[in-house]
Structure 1
Amino acid sequence: MSARTPLLKPLAGALLAVAAIVSLTLSVSRDGSADTAPPQGPPEVGVVTLQASDVPLSTELPGRTTAYLIAEVRPQVGGILLRRLFEEGSDVKAGQPLYQIDPAPYRATLARAEASLESARLLAERYARLIKQQAISQQDNDDAQSQYLQARASAESARIDLGYTRISAPISGRIGRSSVTQGALLTANQATALATVQQLDPIYVDIVQPSTALLRLKEDLASGRLQRSADGRAEVHLILENGKPYALAGKLQFSEISVDEGTGAVTLRAVFPNPQGLLLPGMFVRAQLQEGVRSQVLLVPQRGVTRDPRGQATALVVGADDKVELREVTVERSVGPHWLISAGLAAGERLIVDGVQNVRPGMPVHSVPAADTPAPAAQ
């Protein structure tokens, strides 16, 4: 026991020193002489002052491009194909020669028909003189005149068939691949088309829209909530398959008169200029359809609207006394980075968009203009 006493005395001294330091720290904290932190003021929030504006509304819908005109090239007479007169994939003009069928048999037929026509003409003229002299019967004269008319029709038919040996483009457009080559035997009005010509400028875009959206659009227009643009025609813009916008705008032509029973959708058709041939038939596109203009509505940044546990959209605003107020709002649709609000907010109010997580209703705040808030699109 005597051996442990010298070791316990230094330890007891150290414990007493630590206790004295802790006691001094507590006494300083109680009288506040060492507390130098300044009192905190109201939290700072970023706000946007709401303004009503005329907003053009649009809907993005899927669509497919379709050729403006389509013509399948088929022979109207039979024969051996001598040559092809066009380059596959090129642009052709209406009336431009595309194929040449061997014309020799049709030239011979035309020559025989013209010879018969000349004989019938001479006979008809002779009988016309004789009937005046009553040298022949009226029946003989009628038969001669009839044979002349038949011979003239036969010659004209032979002349038309000869012209059909050169197959021409029925419309202007871009021609595809040829299904036949030189030396092929063609038949009149055959089932297989020789080639297909498609007019691509302008070009159609068929857009599919749900029937419910079409009904909502008509109701908004009838009630006056939505107004057509100044020219009264719906303008359409395209987003291509690579995500880039198409430079030229189109116009809506018509909508289908019936609803597809399988999909519950209607087809809208728009026409677009296509001078460079960038749009090809069958391409998938996204069409932005201009619905109309909503007058004096509120667009608010999407980050300024949240939802409570019930799913109700809510927003926080700074009231006249610089205190936070909670509002339940009605969100109609998204317009770019904004929400279109139809109820719950009013023009001139200050909507909190930054610092929402740091405040609660009834709390006083210090409001400053929010940074990097895009302005709503206005008409």
Structure 2
Amino acid sequence: MKAVNRNQAKAAAWVLMLGAAGMALTGCGGGDTKAAPAAPPPPEVGVVTATPGRADLTTELPGRLEAFRVAQVRARAAGILQKRLFTEGSDVKAGQALFEIDAAPYRATLASAQAQLARAEANLVQAQALADRYAPLAKTQAVSQQEALNAQAAAKQAAADVQAGKAAVQTAQINLGYASVTSPIAGRIGRALVTEGALVGQGEATPLAVVQQIDKLYVNFTQSAGEVMRLRAALAGGQLQRAAGKEAAEVQVVLEDGSIYAQKGRLLFSDLSVDPATGQITLRAELPNPQGQLLPGLYVRVRLAQAEVADGIWLPQQAVARTPQGDTVLVVAEDGSVSARPVKLGPPRTGQALVLSGLKPGEKVIVDGLQKTRAGGKARPVAWTPPGAASAAPAAPAAPAASAASKA
């Protein structure tokens, strides 16, 4: 019996040891049965919905204003400048007297030419009378043929002297007229380049003032030859349409302060050649300036509507990424997956990009939060609000301090 009890005690000890070992093994394997941590939610990104519509391809180019007509007033008669007859900076009319040069020498020259003409006319009367008298006498041989011929030659020479005298009188009158300097065009005159008492026109036509017609102005601007070629290729390929109506030849001028000039200009021509130094094509437009608000030489920017697209999509500029492979945008699908789309862009507008192809209507394009996601990832789209619109929205009223304290 004692031997049986010892065997039972040993069996019980083995059972206890095996149970302890099992518990230890269970404790060691407990780490494998713990739940895995939850995946983070997809990042929130601001998106805009691609909405196609008609878009004008308006190109903004730098330009300079130029006077419609410019006339340099010069002294064509030599002499002492006696009077200035205009107010600097005023408007003058065509033919208005501006300066007076000492005309006494020219009046004397005119009088001398008139006297020479009178003498020539008197000689013509005498020579013609003698020729008329000798003509019938030569037929009856009362005088010799040589004498009659000499009388006729003298009469013709006297007639030539009369013509020369008339030309001399006309020249003297023209020079006398040059002593009164007039404006060749109507416009606004600048400052006088000489003062009274100055000797002008001595050996050269001395500049006296400049008159500029500014009731309308020219706008000279340039466009890259590459842009022109791409535009023509898009028009030829049917991707773009020519701007319809008068807008095809209209331009809009943006001033240096960013304001838009009220009057619209009219495109006149584009140059037929490319400047080899800059690769630019020169264009010119005519701009009304009835109030004289704009001045020649002013720097402006010219908006030119060259074509239109029927189903263009405008996106904020920050939505487009420029890569070596081309322009791309990120699109969020219904299931939140993000994919990259190559797009073709048209001429940009301030802060906006025009997508000509590569997007479908209704697709959600990421504008804000591009650094939070990438193609192949996930994102949670929310409607994007421009920064200006967000700041203009009224802020929610804050809770009263007393109420917050009572809740605490």
TM bucket (normalised to shorter chain) is 0.7 to 0.9
Give the Cα separation in 2 of the matches to 1:244 and 1:364: 40
Question: What is the SS of the residue equivalent to 2:170?
Answer: helix
State the shift of 1:83 in Å.
0.4
**1:213 maps onto 2:227 in alignment:** yes
Question: What is the SS of the residue equivalent to 1:347?
Answer: coil
Task: State whether residues 66 and 296 of structure 2, in contact with CA within 8 Å, keep that contact through their aligned partners in structure 1.
Answer: yes
Give the Cα separation in 1 of the matches to 2:264 and 2:286: 9
Aligned pair in 2 of structure 1 residues 189, 67: CA closer, same or farther (>3 Å)? Answer: farther
| Same amino acid, percent of matched pairs | 43
Q: Which residue does 1:68 correspond to in 2? A: 68
Question: What is the SS of the residue equivalent to 2:160?
Answer: helix
1:54 corresponds to which letter in structure 2? R
Task: State whether residues 76 and 206 of structure 2, in contact with CA within 8 Å, keep that contact through their aligned partners in structure 1.
Answer: no
Q: Where do 1:103-118 residues align within 5 Å?
A: 103-118=103-118
- 1:69-116 Cα offsets, whole Å, 9 max, x none, are 121111111111110111112111111101001112211221222222
TM-score w.r.t. the length of structure 2 is 0.71
State the shift of 1:133 in Å.
2.9
Give the Cα separation in 2 of the matches to 1:225 and 1:256: 25
Task: State whether residues 77 and 189 of structure 1, in contact with CA within 8 Å, keep that contact through their aligned partners in structure 2.
Answer: no
Q: Which residue does 1:341 correspond to in 2? A: 355
Q: 2:175 aligns with which of 161, 183, 207?
A: 161
State the shift of 1:227 in Å.
2.5
Q: 1:187 aligns with which of 194, 197, 201?
A: 201
TM-score w.r.t. the length of structure 1 is 0.76
- 1:284-308 Cα offsets, whole Å, 9 max, x none, are 2222222211222222344555679
1:297 corresponds to which letter in structure 2? G
Q: Which residue does 1:230 correspond to in 2? A: 244
Q: Which residue does 1:328 correspond to in 2? A: 341
Question: What is the SS of the residue equivalent to 1:194?
Answer: strand
Q: Which residue does 2:162 correspond to in 1? A: 148
**1:293 maps onto 2:308 in alignment:** yes
Task: State whether residues 332 and 379 of structure 2, in contact with CA within 8 Å, keep that contact through their aligned partners in structure 1.
Answer: no
1:313 corresponds to which letter in structure 2? T
Give the Cα separation in 1 of the matches to 2:155 and 2:324: 103
Question: Which structure dedicates a bigger proportion of its chain to helix?
Answer: 2
Give the Cα separation in 2 of the matches to 1:234 and 1:109: 56
- 1:131-173 Cα offsets, whole Å, 9 max, x none, are 3332652101111111111111111111111111100011112
Which structure: larger Rg?
2
Give the Cα separation in 2 of the matches to 1:43 and 1:279: 52
Q: Which residue does 1:174 correspond to in 2? A: 188
Give the Cα separation in 1 of the matches to 2:367 and 2:256: 35
Q: Which residue does 2:293 correspond to in 1? A: 278
Aligned pair in 2 of structure 1 residues 338, 106: CA closer, same or farther (>3 Å)? Answer: closer
Aligned pair in 2 of structure 1 residues 372, 179: CA closer, same or farther (>3 Å)? Answer: closer
1:346 corresponds to which letter in structure 2? K
- Larger displacement relative to structure 2 (226-235 or 273-282): 226-235
Please give the root-mean-square deviation of Cα atoms over the aligned residues, in Å: 3.3
Q: Which residue does 2:79 correspond to in 1? A: 79
**1:248 maps onto 2:263 in alignment:** yes
Q: Which residue does 1:36 correspond to in 2? A: none
Give the Cα separation in 2 of the matches to 1:349 and 1:256: 42
Q: Which residue does 1:138 correspond to in 2? A: 152
Q: Which residue does 2:254 correspond to in 1? A: 239
Give the Cα separation in 1 of the matches to 2:297 and 2:77: 32
1:58 corresponds to which letter in structure 2? T
Aligned pair in 2 of structure 1 residues 189, 54: CA closer, same or farther (>3 Å)? Answer: farther
**1:196 maps onto 2:232 in alignment:** no
1:97 corresponds to which letter in structure 2? A
Give the Cα separation in 1 of the matches to 2:55 and 2:235: 14
1:231 corresponds to which letter in structure 2? G
